[in-house]
Each structure stands twice: as C-alpha cells, then as structure tokens.
Amino acid sequence: MKHVTPKELAAMDAESDRCALELSDARLDAMAYACLVAIMAMGPGYHRQSELRLHRQAKENGAAAPVVTSAGALIDGLQALEAKRICIICPYMRPLTQTVVGYIEAEGITVHDFIALEVPDNLQVGRLDPEQLLEIHQRLDTRGIDALVLSACVQMPSLPVLDRVERSLGIPVLSAATATVYRLMKSLNLEPRVPSSGELLSGRY
C-alpha cells in the first residue's frame, strides 16, 4: 500500500491470510494486524471476522496464536475505558475518516467530533510530527467527551505527546497503537502497564 485509498486497502487486506500463514512459521505467541483503516474500510464489525480467519490460518499451520487487529483493539480499549462519547484525529482523507467514524459508531460509541488531516501518502503519514498534535487537538470540540483518540492510525506518531495531551484535557487519551499494545499484552497474560503511555496502559484495566 502506497496510498491510503479504499482500492489499495482492499488489495492489502487480501494478502493478510498469506501473511498470517507465513508469520506463523515462526511459532509466535501472538500476532497483530496493525492497520486500523484496512480493517474498518471492509465494513462494520469486520475485525471479528478478520481475527478469526487469520487465527485459523495460523492454527492450520500448527501454530495457533491469538490475532489482534488494531481496529478491534481500539474498540476494546474504548470499551475498557467505558468511553461512550469520543473525539478522534485521523491522517486519512475525509471520506475514509468518515468510514472510521461510522465503524466506531456501529460499535455503540458516539464520535462527537473528528479531524481528518487528509494525508494520502502512506509514507508521509509516518513522517508526521507528533508535536503538531499539541495544537491540532485544540481544534476539536471536546466538551462532554469521555476519551480522545489522538491518532486513529498505527502509522501516525502520537506517543511522544500522548501523556501531555491527557494531562491537559483531564480525560483518557489513547491511540490505535496504544490500544494494540493493550490488547497484545492482555492476550499474552501480561499486565498492560506502560509508563507515560496514557490511561489505558496505566495497569488499571
């Protein structure tokens, strides 16, 4: 995937079975499908189908391992925080961002406000300066929300400022990446505690 478009996302997802099979040769303890929008672009609830299918690929190779998707992990993380009303920041073009909003809302979580940074180049997404999020998040209407998703994309950096934004807002702040780490640690029966990485990874959930 070079450009974050529905066509390229679907083509990437079509390769996920092969990837899970090949990775399972390493006899892993867990696997993560770390592209949130590739899953969400496939339709509401698709993370459940994907996780089961990819787990089956590994199991049939004699290497059964839990499979985490960042899309499913974000939903689980928000539910662990008991967040019912949120704001999100996405690097995607606006139509894809609206797809992400719809996916989250189909899980019973209201997206009160969102920002689409509209960066189509996948490599450029990874080069975004997380420090800019200190200003970007202030454009959101955060009144009455339970949590902020500072980056609804594993590729988009946010960890260096996540804790600072959380302290300034006084509500839980997470990202697709921290939610994925949370789910991975839980699947490995490890305490989900990572210092300075937001409320979800405080060890309280």
Distance separating alpha carbons of residues 122 and 1, to the nearest angstrom = 7
R_g over Cα of the chain: 16
Cβ neighbours of residue 14 under 8 Å, at least 6 residues apart? none
Q: Is 87 a catalytic residue?
A: no
What's the start-to-end Cα distance of the chain, in Å? 34
Q: At what angle do helices 159-169 and 176-187 cross, to 10 degrees?
A: 100
Q: Is 153 a catalytic residue?
A: yes
Distance separating alpha carbons of residues 69 and 66, to the nearest angstrom = 10
| Residues labelled catalytic | 35, 153
